[in-house]
Amino acid sequence: LAKIPEAERRAYLFTDLIAQRIDDVMKQKGVTKSRLAQMTGKRPCEVTKWLSGSHNFTCRTLSLISDALQSDIVNVAK
């Protein structure tokens, strides 16, 4: 782990935290993986990938998920 560059470790941490946030919101709203797949027009395996903690999210994907769940997944300072 010490050999992994700090920037890469931070990136893994961010993606893991985003995946945890999506999972938390899904649980709060009672949304299953299958249902989120339907809501976003994606396949269930894509949702599984999102929740794995290793998916490299794009802004478009985060926006799609936020819209589907009607909840902010990430907050960006203005």
Per residue in 13-36, pLDDT (tens digit) is 999 999 999 999 999 999 999 999
Q: What is the CA radius of gyration of the chain?
A: 13
Mean pLDDT along residues 44-63: 95
Residue pair 69/33 in contact by the 8 Å Cβ criterion: no
Nearest of 78, 68, 73 to residue 18 by alpha carbon:
73
Name the pTM for this structure. 0.90
Average pLDDT, the chain: 94
